[in-house]
């Protein structure tokens, strides 16, 4: 579908669906993110609609960041598809522009993903530069160039200025980044958007910004979830339970990889009429164990599902997360100490194999109940 006007949206709820993102070909018709799907189809009747596939995006994100860490260990993820790299030390012997070209070419060749790269003396200017030429641009933005390259841009193009802030700034005569940089009534600016925001944006407009890479930013995760949308209405509870196991196992694997454990788990069901219900349970002890998560998810499903209505989507989520090493587990007299030790040993073995041979070499699976009279597999 490369080169076609397409959008990511849930066409099954066409009247209420919104555009999550649009290809550059679709944007030429005026189609953009957050636009109602029906409006986008009026602008571009031959629009291709692709449903969202979060697991696919997450897998590419992992590959993307794994590659960035081969360039430098100083990587700060900014989002699922964006990161800041401190290449100061590397560029003592390499040209920054040539390194950027190598990164861009590698990402396109390895993953077929176009990317834009911004080079600057701090994170803010690098971010602003990365947005100046898309989708395959490389831009250098130095402090001495901000009056020429950055100040003429509309204030809405400034990183850190949200949709609610734009009209407030325009109300006091700030329509471009240059207007903000040269604004003299700082008291009015603080009264309009707040003292902290005003000082930060004013400094950014003058090209100031942090140079420090936050190596722990990717660890600030509030929840982890996976969902499965069925191609058609699902009536069989056995298939629902099977997919629920797969989802629970996936959530467990993602918790383990991030070295996290969760107290709270949620199961979501979306019925064929798009009515969505969910149920949550909080445990006494946090866990990343696939069997425990599946047990909880299965119990929540049994409590939640009405037993007869066809289902279109199932989801399993984990929240109230902590770092695994922060757990102080309280084993009760009913816990099996040998079993706990066995689980711990298995987890260590899997982690060791993955570290030595790669993430894909082995993963903990799930158990399928053998049907009567069926051969062992």
Which residue out of 25, 55, 82, 190 is catalytically annotated? 82
* Predicted local distance difference test score (pLDDT) of residue 101: 97
Per residue in 176-217, pLDDT (tens digit) is 999 999 999 999 999 999 999 999 999 999 999 999 888 766
* Predicted local distance difference test score (pLDDT) of residue 336: 47
Higher pLDDT, 377 or 250: 250
Per residue in 164-174, pLDDT (tens digit) is 899 999 999 99
Mean pLDDT estimate for the chain:
86
* Predicted local distance difference test score (pLDDT) of residue 325: 64
Whether the CB-CB separation of 155 and 179 falls below 8 Å is answered with yes
* Predicted local distance difference test score (pLDDT) of residue 91: 92
Across 217-221, 257-261, 304-308, 352-356, which has the greatest mean pLDDT? Answer: 304-308
Model-wide pTM > 0.75 = no
Residue 104 has pLDDT above 90, yes or no: yes
Q: Is 82 a catalytic residue?
A: yes
Higher pLDDT, 13 or 166: 166
Higher pLDDT, 83 or 275: 83
State the pLDDT confidence band at 251, using cuts at 50, 70 and 90: very high
Higher pLDDT, 338 or 36: 36
Query: CA-to-CA distance for 118 and 141, rounded, in angstroms?
Result: 7
* Predicted local distance difference test score (pLDDT) of residue 276: 84
- Our measurement of the distance from residue 235's CA atom to the centroid of its chain's CA atoms, rounded to an integer in Å, reads 31
Query: CA-to-CA distance for 259 and 64, rounded, in angstroms?
Result: 20
Across 144-158, 220-234, 333-347, which has the greatest mean pLDDT? Answer: 144-158
Per residue in 212-232, pLDDT (tens digit) is 888 766 555 567 888 888 888
State the pLDDT confidence band at 254, using cuts at 50, 70 and 90: confident
* Predicted local distance difference test score (pLDDT) of residue 175: 97
* Predicted local distance difference test score (pLDDT) of residue 133: 93
Residue matched to tokens 């467990």: 252
* Predicted local distance difference test score (pLDDT) of residue 331: 43
Q: Which residues pair with 264 in a beta bridge?
A: 282, 319
Whether the CB-CB separation of 184 and 207 falls below 8 Å is answered with no
Number of H helices, E strands in the chain: 13, 11
Query: CA-to-CA distance for 343 and 256, rounded, in angstroms?
Result: 13
Least confident residue range of 178-182, 214-218, 273-277, 373-377: 373-377
């Amino acid at each position: 579908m490369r080169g076609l006007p397409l959008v990511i949206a849930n066409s099954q709820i066409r009247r209420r669906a919104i555009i999550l993102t649009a290809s550059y070909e679709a944007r030429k018709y005026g189609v953009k993110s957050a636009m109602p799907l029906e409006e986008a189809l009026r602008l571009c009747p031959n629009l291709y609609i692709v449903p969202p596939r979060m697991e696919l995006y997450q897998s590419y994100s992992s590959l993307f960041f794994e590659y960035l860490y081969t360039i430098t260990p100083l990587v700060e993820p900014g989002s699922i598809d964006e990161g800041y790299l401190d290449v100061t030390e590397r560029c003592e012997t390499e040209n920054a522009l040539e390194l950027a070209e190598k990164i861009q070419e590698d990402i396109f060749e390895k993953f077929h993903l176009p990317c834009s790269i911004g080079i600057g003396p701090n994170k803010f200017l690098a971010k602003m530069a990365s947005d100046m030429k898309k989708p395959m641009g490389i831009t250098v933005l130095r402090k001495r160039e901000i009056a020429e390259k950055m100040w003429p841009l509309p204030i809405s193009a400034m990183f850190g200025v949200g949709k609610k802030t734009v009209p407030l700034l325009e109300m006091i005569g700030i329509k471009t980044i240059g207007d903000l940089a040269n604004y003299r009534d700082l008291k009015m600016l603080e009264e309009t958007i707040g003292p902290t925001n005003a000082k930060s944006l004013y400094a950014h407009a003058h090209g100031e910004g942090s140079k420090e890479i936050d190596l722990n930013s990717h660890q600030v995760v509030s929840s982890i979830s996976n969902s499965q949308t069925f191609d058609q209405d699902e009536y069989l509870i056995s298939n629902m339970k099977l997919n629920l196991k797969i989802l629970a196992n996936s959530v467990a694997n993602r918790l383990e990889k991030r070295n996290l454990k969760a107290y709270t788990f949620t199961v979501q069901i979306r019925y064929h009429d798009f009515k969505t219900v969910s149920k949550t349970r909080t445990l006494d002890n946090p866990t990343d164990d696939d069997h425990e998560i599946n047990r909880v998810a299965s119990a929540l499903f049994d409590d939640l599902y009405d037993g007869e209505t066809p289902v279109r989507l199932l989801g399993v989520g984990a929240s109230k997360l902590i770092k695994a090493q922060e757990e102080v587990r309280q084993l009760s007299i009913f816990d099996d100490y040998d079993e706990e030790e066995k689980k711990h040993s298995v987890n260590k073995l899997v982690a060791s194999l993955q570290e030595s041979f790669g993430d894909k070499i082995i993963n903990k699976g799930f158990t399928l109940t053998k049907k009567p009279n069926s051969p062992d597999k």
